[in-house]
Amino acid sequence: MRWKRFWLMLAPSLAALAVLAAGMAQGAVPASFAVSGRQIKVSAAKLSGRGVGIVPGVVRSMDGRQHVVLHLSLRSAQVYGLCQSAEVDTPLGPFTVRLGTRDREKPSQVSHLSISATSLGADVGLGSVVLNRDAGVLGAESVLKGKRGDYGVGVLTFSARNVTADAWMVMGGSFMVDGLSVAIGRDVRPCF
């Protein structure tokens, strides 16, 4: 072994990796996202926050198909009773994976939350709504930007109850969850 050569190879490679990682964190290097070929269910008992944008968009799943979705981006939110579930196929048959908060009373703090949903249901109270705002200016700080000239909805403050969504993807800039519970099993109930 020539250990000098080892470091000669390792150091620049790791440096390049670090540059890529830093660039990706700043969005300079585009990471193309594909979602898994199945939909997930997302629900929350109560959701309140500031800075919502809803814009149309397209996500790609693993099998190469494209799905038309609504990109929801929330700048900051408090979520009560967060739940997310998906069905997965295993060699032993279909199982349900479910992530959720154990305590429905404690809020989870979320910032820069993005949801790509095909359908969305909630009882909502909105403040300062602008319908048909240009989609290009909405969700500017999230990965899922709208296209300039597209239809968009901008909302300043909002609170919602009994939120349910069929989604392709959920991204959180940061999630602070107290008491996360993860379960997988055949008899685990989906969120809704």
Closest approach of other proteins to the CB of residue 136, in Å: 24
Closest approach of other proteins to the CB of residue 5, in Å: 4
Residues of this chain that bind other proteins (CB under 8 A): 1-10, 13-14, 16-17, 20-21, 24, 29, 31-36, 38, 40, 60, 62-64, 84, 86-89, 97, 99, 169, 171, 184
79, 126, 133, 174 from 137: Cα distances, Å: 25, 19, 8, 22
Q: Which residues pair with 123 in a beta bridge?
A: 161
Task: Choose between 58 and 131: whose C-beta lies nearer to other proteins.
Answer: 58
Task: Choose between 7 and 127: whose C-beta lies nearer to other proteins.
Answer: 7
Closest approach of other proteins to the CB of residue 148, in Å: 25
Task: Choose between 13 and 119: whose C-beta lies nearer to other proteins.
Answer: 13
52, 100, 144, 155, 187 from 103: Cα distances, Å: 26, 9, 30, 28, 21
Q: Is 121 helix (H, G, I), strand (E, B) or coil?
A: strand
Whole-angstrom distance, CA of residue 59 vs CA of residue 67: 5
Closest approach of other proteins to the CB of residue 78, in Å: 23
Task: Choose between 83 and 155: whose C-beta lies nearer to other proteins.
Answer: 83
